[in-house]
């Protein structure tokens, strides 16, 4: 392949999905130095791609100037000026399909990630459930790039070097000593959130070890108040919510020894930086293909399907099933504590 090839990669949201593309793009530009990538995504996610050579972000303003069909037409005209050679649609929703189709009509090669919607329905439905591991989303993205002529090897992923703690971060964290453990106890939907009383037990027990510093992640007034309650003023528990910009949060996460998270964006942010990630799963399940990148299967702690055979009931955790409110109580605090202790010292 001669000359520089400019690929437009579309992944508009959500946070976890955007983060999952980072190791993939890092490998793409490392293995194909003649490839230049423009990522079409929300401006907020720009820090995810900082420091990756030949990768830049074009912000999509889908609630403003790029809203609706005519907004997308305007967006296409803006992107066309970048001399795009091919389009990889990793999102596969109406907005991204429109932009991709416009490029196709102008003669550019396109490829779209198969979201396996029927397989996901089979995995989550109550009757005739087909409970099996679906192809992980990152592997689906690899297939998308393969269609464009780029075979990417992710068997030995490369992660960014640790940058020094930024001044704004170290002002909150202090200099590192002992083990740093991140805890992200929230998710977008309640079906993915570990019960507060059990999370309090986990945090209390871990904080008894003076060699650990716990960093609690979240956002918004209600979550921040809950994190402060979890911390109870302990010196080795630091609430980060509302104190750091995204780029600073990533700087801190890069220095963690482990992240304990729900099935949420924080898990994928830590994974894209090469940090060990333990995830807790309620209404959702890693079989849907959204387990954090490059993490051992036993780092995923799932709710008991013997007790709750309809699990997983949802891909996103937004579906409420009667009698399934307490599924995560089958993951005991001691199981979580033991897993964290073993992994952080492994």
DSSP letters for 255-288: T-SEEEEESSHHHHHHHHTT--EEEEESSS-GGG
Whether 166 shows a pLDDT value over 80: the answer reads yes
Whole-number Å distance between alpha carbons of 82 and 106: 14
Q: Write the pLDDT tens digit of every residue in 255-313.
A: 999 999 999 999 999 999 999 999 999 999 999 999 999 999 999 999 999 999 999 99
How many other CB atoms are there within 10 angstroms of residue 221's CB atom? 9
- Average confidence (pLDDT) over 178-194: 96
For Cα atoms 92, 96, 101, give the angle at the middle one, nearest 5 degrees: 100
3-state secondary structure at position 322:
coil
The per-residue pLDDT for 13 is 82
Whether 89 shows a pLDDT value over 60: the answer reads yes
User: How much is the mean pLDDT over the chain?
Assistant: 96
Decide: pTM greater than 0.85. Answer: yes
Whole-number Å distance between alpha carbons of 205 and 333: 9
Compare 329 and 14 and report the one with higher pLDDT: 329
Residues contacting 274, CB < 8 A, separation 6+: 157, 159, 160, 294
- List, in sequence order, every beta strand (DSSP E) within 90-211: 110-112, 179-184
Farthest-apart Cα atoms in the chain, separation: 62
- Give how far Cα 71 sits from Cα of 40, 59, 90, 157, 271, Å: 14, 13, 20, 37, 34
Assigned token pair, 25: 């793009």
The per-residue pLDDT for 196 is 97
- Give how far Cα 280 sits from Cα of 126, 269, 297, 298, 302, Å: 22, 16, 12, 11, 6
Consecutive H or E run containing 139: helix 137-147
Are 95 and 13 in contact, with CB atoms under 8 Å apart? no
Q: Write the pLDDT tens digit of every residue in 14-57.
A: 899 999 999 999 999 999 999 999 999 999 999 999 999 999 99
Whole-number Å distance between alpha carbons of 25 and 315: 25
Q: Write the pLDDT tens digit of every residue in 193-235.
A: 999 999 999 999 999 999 999 999 999 999 999 999 999 989 9
């Amino acid at each position: 392949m001669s000359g520089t090839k400019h690929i437009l990669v579309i992944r508009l949201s959500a946070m976890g999905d955007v983060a999952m593309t980072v190791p993939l793009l890092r490998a793409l530009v490392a293995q194909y130095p003649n490839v230049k990538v423009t990522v079409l995504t929300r401006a907020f996610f720009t820090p995810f791609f900082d420091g990756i050579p030949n990768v830049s972000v074009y912000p999509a303003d889908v609630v403003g100037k790029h809203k609706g069909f005519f907004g997308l037409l305007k967006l296409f005209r803006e992107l066309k000026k970048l001399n795009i050679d091919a389009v990889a649609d990793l999102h596969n929703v109406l907005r991204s399909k429109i932009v991709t189709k416009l490029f196709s009509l102008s003669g550019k090669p396109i490829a779209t990630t198969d979201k396996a919607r029927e397989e996901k329905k089979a995995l989550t439905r109550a009757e005739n459930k087909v409970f099996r591991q679906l192809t992980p989303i990152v592997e689906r993205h690899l297939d998308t790039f393969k269609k464009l002529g780029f075979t990417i090897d992710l068997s030995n992923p490369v992660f960014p070097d640790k940058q020094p703690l930024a001044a704004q971060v170290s002002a909150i964290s202090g200099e590192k000593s002992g083990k740093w453990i991140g805890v992200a106890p929230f998710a977008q939907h309640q079906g993915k959130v570990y019960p507060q009383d059990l999370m309090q037990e986990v945090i209390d027990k871990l904080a008894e070890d003076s060699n650990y510093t716990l960093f609690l992640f979240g956002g918004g007034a209600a979550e921040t108040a809950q994190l402060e309650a979890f911390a109870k003023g302990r010196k080795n528990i630091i609430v980060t919510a509302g104190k750091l910009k995204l780029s600073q949060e990533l700087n801190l996460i890069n220095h963690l020894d482990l992240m304990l998270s729900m099935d949420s964006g924080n898990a994928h942010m830590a994974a894209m930086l090469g940090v060990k990630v333990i995830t807790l799963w309620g209404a959702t399940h890693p079989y849907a293909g959204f387990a954090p990148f490059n993490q051992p299967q036993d780092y995923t702690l799932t709710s008991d399907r013997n007790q709750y055979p309809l699990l997983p009931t949802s891909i996103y955790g937004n579906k409420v099933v009667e009698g399934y409110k307490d599924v995560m109580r089958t993951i005991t605090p001691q199981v979580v504590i033991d897993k964290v202790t073993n992994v952080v010292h492994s």
